[in-house]
Structure 1
Amino acid sequence: MIAFIGSVFSPWYRWSGRADPENHICLNVVTYGRGGRWTMTDRGRAALHQSAETLTLGPSALHWDGERLVIDMDERATPHGSAIRGRITVTPSAVTGVELPLTGDGAHVWRPFAPVADIRVEIDRPGWSWDGHGYLDGNFGTRALEADFDTWSWGRFPTKTGAVAFYDGIRRDGTRLHTALRFDADGRAAAMDAPPPLQRFRRSNWLVARATRCDPGHRPRQVRAMLDAPFYNRCEVETVIDGERVRGVYEALDLRRFRGPWLMPMLAVRVPRRSGWRIRA
């Protein structure tokens, strides 16, 4: 689930010139497995309300109550049109103070709010509710991702003592982004002095290149497919970090493909625009 102000992957936002991010908002929800659904409705500024504790995006809202993030969603899947309604509660073990610039001028920033959290998912369909391990982060930027990056990959892997996270990418100026952080359950973060090497594994079905960190002598591998698109891949990956075999969510993004004009009409089919939707009093 991703809440957007300035819907990064929306063709409507790109076609608008990206001058008004508050006029392109959405709550992207993806469920996996049999009957899985996708929601990413692009709405206008009349559907947005912000306060210190609450972010309202059309019929859905996120609220921070001081200890947990409560997300009430009421969205429609595309292209099926079926409703996805429910509540997700994310309870961090701690909130970090980490804020990491991804470019030298700070135009892109990653904020891992809660690398270790508990999650409760309650969706109004039989078998779609569960409790488990969760994660909460945010990305902020003043330029388009494809303006500054050719590729990037990200992975977050729960460990016995907390979690590790990796950010690796190639910027358009040829410089590289390599970040490896270790988090404990109390929210303390530390850079890994000698992170495992970056190792490639099998390309996605759309042939997006994938690589993540893994101890020498081992290889990362996909253990569960999640989301596969021409420019983006999300999956569950098993790897070995400091001798510990771990599984976590991994993402790879090819922004060279995303820059291509051929992709936007394809995305418009999956990202409907509802500019006239207004928050009901």
Structure 2
Amino acid sequence: MSDCGTRAVSVIGFIGSVFSPWYRWSGRKDPENHVCINVATYGPGGRFTMTDRGRSALRQSPRRFDVGPSSMRWESGQLIVDVNEISGPPLIGRVRGQIRVTPRAVTHVELPLTPDGAHIWRPFGPVSDIEVDLEAPGWQWSGHGYFDANFGTRALEEDFAYWTWGRFPHRGGSTCFYDATRLDGSELGAGFHFDPDGTAQEIALPEKLGFRRSFWAVKRETRGDAGAKPRQVMNMLDAPFYSRSMVETTLDGTTSVGVHEALDLTRFRSPWLKPMLAVRVPRRANWLFGR
């Protein structure tokens, strides 16, 4: 998120693109044949890019991850993302430039999301600085950022019905909440506070608070002080099964605006959704480096 609060960016690298209909239709047997660097920009002139690419587009090493024309690399304590993508409708155009994420520290927290550890959340840099330099007017800014990963050996919809996640700047660091309803009816509720030096502390969970549904009527809730009224400050990404937005809540009497996600896996499981997604997530099976 930018310091001024009017712009934001998200970047997700996928091996086995979990939200790709092409990966689902393939039977999810070959994750390295469905790779992606998903880049979305939010604010004036925002764009969305998510191209499902084949095995030939993938190169990886301990410090570098290339997918077609875009890449991520770890260098001198920074995650450097070089972006060269084409955005999908309704605003089609090239998204090109560089994003630098600098964690204040790298944590050692790992949270199993299911009892058997089939899904893991790993918040590497929950307190980070970000610099954005894209080839578009107004898309050169800095702000506060976040760097994490999710790992899994099963499809999300095989284990979850619904989840929410939120990361809120708080007490000089950041506070994260992870809540999920599993398909077996059990629930996950976890909260962590991270200091800038990487110190992590699991915290008592504040009250769960609902707020206005998304444009596609995805249910949304987050955590906050009793009596607080969370609200959306900026819509970021709105899909029939997914909402990402800037949300304001109150923690320990202090107002905080952070990034919030809600994911309805029951909807995502529906077969009617996959052809809709294919419009937003094109498949480009072949790529040759150096072409």
TM class by shorter chain equals: over 0.9
User: What corresponds to 2:100 in structure 1?
Assistant: 89
User: What corresponds to 1:270 in structure 2?
Assistant: 280
Question: What are the residue-to-residue correspondences of 1:2-13 with 2, within 5 Å?
Answer: 2-13=12-23
Shift of 1:32: 1.6
1:111 paired to 2:122:
yes
Among candidates 131, 151, 157, match of residue 142 of structure 2: 131
The number of residue pairs the alignment matches comes to 280
- Name the CA distance, whole Å, in 1 between partners of 2:228 and 2:180: 22
Among candidates 182, 187, 198, match of residue 208 of structure 2: 198
Helix, strand or coil for the counterpart of 2:42? Answer: coil
* CA offset digits 1:177-203 (Å, max 9, x no partner): 1010010010111110x2211111111
User: What corresponds to 2:47 in structure 1?
Assistant: 37
One-letter identity of the residue aligned with 2:142 = D
Shift of 1:251: 0.2
Helix, strand or coil for the counterpart of 1:31? Answer: strand
* CA offset digits 1:26-58 (Å, max 9, x no partner): 111111223211100000010001101000011
Helix, strand or coil for the counterpart of 1:22? Answer: helix
User: What corresponds to 1:74 in structure 2?
Assistant: 84
- Name the CA distance, whole Å, in 2 between partners of 1:96 and 1:89: 18
Question: What percent of counterpart residues are identical?
Answer: 60
Shift of 1:210: 0.4
User: What corresponds to 1:170 in structure 2?
Assistant: 181
Gaps of 5+ in 2: 1-10
Among candidates 15, 20, 35, match of residue 25 of structure 2: 15
Shift of 1:211: 0.4
* CA offset digits 1:114-152 (Å, max 9, x no partner): 000110000011111101101000000000000000000
Normalising by structure 1, what TM-score? 0.98
Instruction: Choose 33-42 or 114-123, whichever is displaced more.
Output: 33-42
- Name the CA distance, whole Å, in 1 between partners of 2:66 and 2:30: 17
User: What corresponds to 2:240 in structure 1?
Assistant: 230
Helix, strand or coil for the counterpart of 1:35? Answer: coil
Shift of 1:240: 0.7
Q: Is the 8 A contact 1:69 1:91 kept in 2?
A: yes
User: What corresponds to 1:154 in structure 2?
Assistant: 165
* CA offset digits 1:8-36 (Å, max 9, x no partner): 10000000000000000011111122321
1:208 paired to 2:218:
yes
Structure 1 vs Structure 2 CA RMSD: 1.0
Gaps of 5+ in 1: none
Normalising by structure 2, what TM-score? 0.94
